[in-house]
């Protein structure tokens, strides 16, 4: 964790406000508690920067390092983390309780494709008119879809009625 100013950057060199700091040099060796001015002087001698990395500590922890290089590495890590983040979208597949075998196979193939791509899939069974009296048919269709896609994902919840 790095100390942050209001604009989000850590405090560097003369921006450090405390009188004493716990200094860590560029090799990671603890140099002890010293006055801030002396820490800045040591950093300038080595042509590096004094960066406050833990302001909440008592005394604050500061490191001697190349601030430009440090910021570049942080930006690179953030960029890599964003690349690795996979955006999950919710795909919806709509069916009817009296779905034909070919239509069912086609839709299950599409569902499997979505799951393999890492998407979440919501399967909806729509009822019209008198079909509402045959809710068990819809539950059978959903159970069959869950069974056919068993190895690719898991069901997050039991089938439920929405709407009327």
Residues 11 and 68: their CA atoms lie apart, in Å, by: 13
Looking at the chain, which residues constitute the CATH 3.10.20.80 domain(s)?
13-83
Cα dihedral 13, 18, 20, 25, rounded to 10, equals -30
8-state DSSP, 8: S
pLDDT digits 0-9 by tens, 58-104: 889 999 998 889 889 889 999 988 888 777 788 999 999 899 999 99
Q: What's 13-83's CATH class? A: alpha beta
Instruction: Tell me the two tokens of residue 92.
Output: 């919806």
127 three-class SS: coil
Q: How much is the mean pLDDT over the chain?
A: 85
Ranges of residues in the chain with a pLDDT under 70 are 1-8, 163-164
pTM for the whole thing? 0.48
Looking at the chain, which residues constitute the CATH 3.30.110.10 domain(s)?
90-148
Q: What's 90-148's CATH class? A: alpha beta
């Amino acid at each position: 964790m790095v100390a942050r100013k209001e604009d989000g950057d850590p405090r560097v060199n003369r921006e450090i406000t405390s009188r004493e700091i716990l200094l860590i040099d560029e090799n990671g060796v603890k140099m002890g508690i010293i006055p801030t001015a002396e820490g800045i002087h040591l950093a300038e001698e080595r042509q590096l920067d004094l960066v406050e990395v833990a302001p909440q500590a008592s005394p604050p922890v500061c490191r001697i390092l190349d601030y430009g290089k440090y910021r570049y590495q942080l930006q690179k890590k953030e960029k890599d983390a964003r690349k690795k983040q996979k955006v999950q979208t919710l795909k919806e597949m709509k069916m009817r309780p009296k779905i034909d075998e070919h239509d069912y196979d086609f839709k299950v193939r599409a569902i499997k494709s979505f799951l393999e791509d890492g998407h979440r899939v919501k399967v909806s069974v729509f009822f019209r008119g008198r079909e509402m009296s045959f809710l068990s048919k819809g539950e059978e269709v959903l159970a069959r879809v869950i069974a056919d896609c068993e190895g690719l994902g898991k069901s997050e919840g039991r089938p439920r009625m929405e709407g009327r």
